[in-house]
Chains A and B, each alone.
Chain A
Amino acid sequence: MKAAVLTFPGSNCDADLLWAVQEIAGQEAALVSANTEDLTGFDLVLVPGGFSYGDYLRSGAIAKFAPVMGALKTFAANGGYVLGICNGFQILTEAGLLPGALQVNTSLEFICEPEPLIVANHQTAFSNQYAAGQTISLPIAHGEGNYYADPETLASIEAHQQVVFRYAENPNGSLNDIAGLTNEAGNVLGMMPHPERAVEALLGGTDGLGVFESLIAATKGAVHVAN
Chain B
Amino acid sequence: MLQTEPTPEQIRDQKPYLQLGLTEAEYALFTKRLGRLPNYTEVGLQSGMWSEHCAYKYSKPILKTFWTKNERVLMGPGEGAGVIAIGEGKAVVFKAESHNHPSAVEPYEGAATGIGGIIRDIFSIGAKPVASLDSLAFGTRFDAHNQNLIDQVVAGIGGYGNAIGIPTVGGEIQFDASYQDNPLVNAMCVGVMDEKDIQRGQAAGVGNAIIYVGAKTGRDGINGASFASAQFSKEEDADRSAVQVGDPFMEKLLTDACLAVTQKHQKALVGMQDMGAAGLVSSSAEMASKAGFGMTLDLDLIPQREPGMTPFEIMLSESQERMLLCIRTGFEQEILDLFAGYDLDAVVCGRVEAGHQYRLLHHGAVVCDIPVGLLTDAVPTYTTTPKQPARLAHPAPDFTPTITDIDQTLRALLALPNIASKRSLFKRYDAQVQTNTVIAPGGDAGVIRVRGTHRALAMTADSNGRLLALDPEIGGAITVAEAARNLVATGAEPLGITDCLNYGDPSKPEVYYELQASAKGIVEATKVFNTPVISGNVSLYNETSGVGIHPTPMIGMVGLITDLDAITTVAFKQAGDVVFLVGATGDDYNGSSIQYLQNGAYAGRLTGFDLTQEKAIQDKMLKAIQAHLVNACHDLADGGLAAALVEMGTANRLGIKGSTALSAAQFFAETQGRFLAAVPPAQQAAFAAQMGKDAVVLGTVSDGEFVLDLADAKLDTTIADLAAIQEEALAWQLK
What are the interface flags for A1-23 relative to B under an 8 Å C-beta threshold, 1 for contact and 0 otherwise?
00000000110110110011000
Which of chain A's residues have a CB closer than 8 A to the CB of B432?
112, 139, 141, 194, 197, 203
Task: Report A21 CB to chain B, min CB distance, Å.
Answer: 12
Indicate whether B433 reaches chain A with its CB closer than 8 angstroms.
yes
- CB A23 to nearest CB in B, in angstroms, measures 9
Contact status of A54 and B247, CB under 8 A, knowing A9-B343, A19-B435, A196-B435: yes
A interface footprint on B689-731 (CB within 8 Å = 1, 0 otherwise): 0000000000000000000000000000000000000000000
Give the shortest distance, in Å, between A132 (CB) and chain B (any CB).
28
| Option from A16, A54, A202 in Cβ contact (under 8 Å) with B249 | A54
Contacts A141-B162, A196-B435: A53 and B249 contacting too (C-beta < 8 A)?
yes
B578 interfacial by beta-carbon distance below 8 Å: no
Cβ of B620 under 8 Å from chain A? no
In the complex, A15 Cα to B252 Cα: how many Å?
14
Interfacial residues of chain A within 27-64, with CB under 8 A of chain B in the complex? 49-51, 53-56
A141 touches B434 (CB 8 A): no
B435 and A141 form a contact (CB under 8 A) = no
Query: Given the known A-B contacts A19-B435, A197-B435, are A112 and B429 also in contact in the complex, defined by CB atoms under 8 Å?
Result: yes
Closest B residue to A49 by CB, please name it. B433
What's the least CB distance linking A48 to chain B, in Å? 10
Interface string of B309-343 (1 = CB under 8 A from A): 00000000000000000000000000000000011
Q: Tell me if A109 and B252 are in contact (CB < 8 A).
A: no
Q: Does B427 contact A (CB under 8 A)?
A: yes
Which residues on the B side are within 8 Å of A50 (C-beta)?
A: 163, 165
Interface size on A, residues (CB 8 A): 31
> Across the interface, do A203 and B163 meet the contact criterion of CB distance under 8 Å?
no
Does B219 interact with chain A (Cβ within 8 Å)? no
Instruction: Tell me which of B164, B253, B431, B433 contacts A16 (CB under 8 A).
Output: B433
Q: In the bound complex, how far is the Cα of B342 from the Cα of A54, in angstroms? A: 14
Query: B198 at the A/B interface (Cβ < 8 Å)?
Result: no
Instruction: Tell whether A111 is near chain B: CB-to-CB under 8 Å.
Output: yes
B12 to chain A, nearest CB (A): 47
Contact of A110 among B164, B253, B428, B564 (CB under 8 A): B428
CB neighbors of B among A143-177 (8 A): 143
Binary CB contact string for chain B from 119 to 147 against chain A (1 if under 8 A, 0 otherwise): 00000000000000000000000000000
A10 and chain B: residue at smallest CB distance = B249
Say whether A109 contacts B428, CB under 8 Å.
Answer: yes
* Residue from A54, A110, A204 in contact with B248 in the complex, judged by beta carbons closer than 8 Å: A54
Q: Evaluate whether A111 and B163 lie within 8 angstroms (CB atoms) in the complex, with A9-B253, A16-B435, A202-B438 already known.
A: no
Pick the residue among A12, A141, A196 that contacts B164 (CB under 8 A).
Answer: A12
The answer to whether A203 touches B249, judged by C-beta atoms less than 8 angstroms apart, is no
**Which chain B residues lie closer than 8 Å to A55 at the CB level?**
163, 249
8 Å CB interface, B433-485 against A? 433-438, 449
Given the known A-B contacts A202-B564, A203-B436, are A12 and B252 also in contact in the complex, defined by CB atoms under 8 Å?
Answer: yes
Residue in A12, A54, A111 whose CB lies within 8 Å of B165: A12
**A170 vs B319: C-alpha distance when bound (angstroms):** 40
CB distance from B629 to the nearest CB of A (A): 20
Instruction: Decide: A9 and B249 in contact? CB cutoff 8 A.
Output: yes
- Residue among A10, A49, A200 with the most chain B CB within 10 A? A10
Assembled-state Cα–Cα distance A200/B163 (Å): 24
Chain B residue, CB-CB nearest to A200:
B435
Within the complex, the shortest CB–CB distance from B19 to chain A, in Å, comes to: 35
Which residue of the partner chain, among B155, B165, B437, contacts A203 with CB atoms under 8 Å?
B437
B141-195 residues at the A interface, CB under 8 angstroms: 155, 158-159, 162-165
Minimum CB–CB distance from A6 to chain B (whole Å) comes to: 15
Docked CA distance A160–B715 (Å): 56
Task: Determine the distance from Cα of A165 to Cα of B155 in the docked complex, in whole angstroms.
Answer: 29
Does B430 lie at the interface of the complex (its beta carbon under 8 Å from any beta carbon of A)?
yes
Supposing A12-B164, A13-B165, A54-B248 touch, asked if A203 and B435 sit within 8 A by C-beta, the answer is yes
Q: Are A10 and B427 in contact (CB under 8 A)?
A: no
Q: A54-B249, A111-B428 are in contact. Are A203 and B438 (CB under 8 A)?
A: yes
CB distance from B734 to the nearest CB of A (A): 12
Q: A112-B428, A113-B427, A202-B449 are in contact. Are A56 and B436 (CB under 8 A)?
A: no
Residues of chain B contacted by A197 (CB below 8 angstroms)? 432, 435
A51 to B435, CA, bound (A): 17
Contact call B163/A10, Cβ cutoff below 8 A: yes
Which residues 195-212 of A sit at the B interface, judged by CB distance below 8 A? 196-197, 199-200, 202-204
**In whole angstroms, what is the CA distance A55 to B248 when docked?**
10
Q: Residue on A with the closest CB to B449?
A: A202
Residues in chain A near residue B158, CB distance under 8 A: 110
Q: How far is the CA of A197 from the CA of B155 in the complex (A)?
A: 23
B437 closest partner in A (C-beta): A203
Do residues A12 and B428 form an inter-chain contact, with CB atoms below 8 A? no
A204 to B651, CA, bound (A): 13
What are 19 residue pairs bridging A and B, where the CB atoms are less than 8 Å apart in the complex? A9-B343, A10-B163, A10-B252, A12-B163, A54-B247, A54-B249, A55-B249, A110-B158, A110-B162, A112-B431, A141-B430, A141-B431, A143-B162, A196-B435, A197-B432, A199-B435, A202-B438, A203-B435, A203-B449
Interface residues of A (CB under 8 A from B): 9-10, 12-13, 15-16, 19-20, 49-51, 53-56, 109-113, 139, 141, 143, 194, 196-197, 199-200, 202-204
Q: Can you list the 8 inter-chain pairs with the closest CB atoms, starting with the nearest?
A: A12-B165, A54-B249, A51-B163, A16-B435, A141-B430, A110-B428, A197-B432, A112-B430
Other contacts beyond A16-B434, A109-B428: 4, CB < 8 A: A13-B433, A19-B435, A55-B163, A199-B435
